[in-house]
Amino acid sequence: MHHRPLPFDASLVEKITTAHPTPFYLYHEEGIRQRVRDLYEAFSWNEGFRQYFAVKATPNPHIVAMLAEEGCGADCSSPAELVICDRLDIRGEEVMFTSNNTTSEEFQAAVDLGAIVNLDSPHHLGQLQTLPKLPKFISFRFNPGAERTGNVIIGDPQEAKFGCTREQIVDGYARCRDLGIERFGLHAMIVSNELQVESLLATAEMLFELAVTIKQATGVAVEFINLGGGIGVPYRPGESEVNLAEFGAGVESLYESIVVPSGLAPLRVMMENGRSITGPFGYLITRVINVKQSYKRYIGVDATMSNLMRPGMYGAYHHITVLGKEQAPTVDNADVVGSLCENNDKFAVDRELPEVVEGDLVVIHDAGAHGHSMGFQYNGRLRSAELLQNDQGEVRLIRRAETLDDYFATVEFPEAPAPRLASSGG
């Protein structure tokens, strides 16, 4: 069983539910911190290595602040994410603004924070020139298009809306240099949820080589290479963790063979991981409220797809255990379902699980990234609370559950109920 032992047991969770009813997210503090330390250790050969946490994965200020304590910057792609940084006093080069289809107002917010602005395309330079001041530090997002196919990718790069071509990038740095911008980086993110070190290394190789090309073509020497995020999570039993030490050593050897001979060293390596940092250390805890047998067996829980949409949206696998029944024999396969009026509101389909009864606590694993943050309110279902647990068993509420008042806060109800049509007596 590859899934690490749970940092809690049934009795602790039962205790938590007396103050915080299910469903809720529970994050494990030491797990998250240790993952970041392992990443920094793997890149300790690179002076100035920095991980920018992709805020969209788990946009909770407590999580972002905890990661800042571990030395992480923040990778933002929207105004709300910039607000989190501003409120936490994370600014300047600690912030990477990697957006796409961006407005001038959004660039302004990033420049106000002093963020490194990672441009999706040189088209945006026109917008930047309308701002009162230009960002000091720019990078560009490269999309290799047809140069890269066949690996596990966000989609075919040629079909991806992100980034720009080699020619646009070279032209973009030359234009920036002419505008007086002096500090540069280079970025790409072409893999997602990638468990193969080789595929992750392909991005590093591609970017190191492109940095050399840019230097030769424009004289611009980039200060950093941002490898993006994309380190995968072994969601399924049988999959294995990415060996971060092996990955770091692989990037080091590419650095030695490409960057050093070109005279571009020292070059900082940066990453924007989200999923691999918080994913494995967040659990969606939910309670069985109905067990039903029709044409198959359904285990109805009190969370819905609105709390965790990955299974419904991508068919993503999330491991599920029933607390206190970890060793129990499994019975027939069942679907684990929420209560939305949507048939893809399922956390698992045909899953082998032990016999469950109403009231059992169910743990949905690896939900710490792109989980709560993708929540929505369809069917008037509300987003759950988020709790942070440490190894002393202390649990802190870091976001309360939404209430019906929150749900209706934006609605204008009519002053008085609309008059009913009189019955025509037909």
Q: Which residues bind ligand PLP (CB under 6 A)?
A: 54, 56-57, 75, 77, 98, 189, 192, 228-231, 272-276, 369
Instruction: Tell me the CA end-to-end span of the chain in Å, nearest whole number.
Output: 68
Q: How far apart are the C-alpha atoms of 254 and 378, rounded to whole Å?
A: 47
Q: Which is nearer to ligand PLP, 56 or 310 (CB)?
A: 56
Q: How many CA atoms lie within 13 A of 182 on its CB side?
A: 0
Amino acid symbol at 358 = E
The distance between the two most distant Cα atoms of the chain, rounded to a whole number of Å, is: 91
Q: How far is the CB of 147 from ligand PLP (least distance, A)?
A: 19
Alpha-carbon gap, residue 73 to 373, rounded angstroms: 19
What does the CA dihedral 61, 183, 121, 256 come to, rounded to 10 degrees? -90
Complex with ligand PLP: residue 153 or 211, whichever CB lies closer:
153
**Least Å from the CB of residue 168 to ligand PLP:** 17
Query: Which C-beta is closer to ligand PLP: that of 155 or that of 261?
Result: 155
Cβ-based nearer residue to ligand PLP, 101 or 257:
101
Distance of closest approach, residue 56 Cβ to ligand PLP, in angstroms: 6
In Å, what is the CA distance from 154 to each residue of 145, 158, 308?
12, 11, 20
- Whose Cβ is closer to ligand PLP: residue 250's or residue 300's? 250
Nearest residue (CB) to ligand PLP, 76 versus 212: 76
Q: Which residues contact 68 (CB under 8 A, 6 or more apart)?
A: 74, 88, 90, 94
H helices then E strands: how many in the chain? 13, 17
> 270 near 224, Cβ under 8 Å?
yes
DSSP letter string over 188-211?
A: ----SSB--HHHHHHHHHHHHHHH
Q: Annotated catalytic residue: which of 85, 164, 176, 341? A: 341
Give the residue nearest to ligand PLP (CB): 229
Q: What per-residue string of b and e applies to 281-316 under the rule 16 or more CB within 10 Å gives b?
A: bbbbbbbbbeeeeeeebebbbbbbbbbbbbbbeeeb
Shortest distance, CB of residue 199 to ligand PLP, whole angstroms?
Answer: 13
- Give strand ranges (E) for 257-354: 268-271, 282-293, 297-301, 320-322, 330-337, 346-354
Rounded-to-integer distance, Cα 20 and Cα 286, Å: 11
Residue 252 C-beta: closest distance to ligand PLP, Å: 21
Confirm whether 341 is a catalytic residue: yes
* Minimum CB distance to ligand PLP, residue 392 (Å): 29
Question: Which residues are known catalytic residues?
Answer: 341
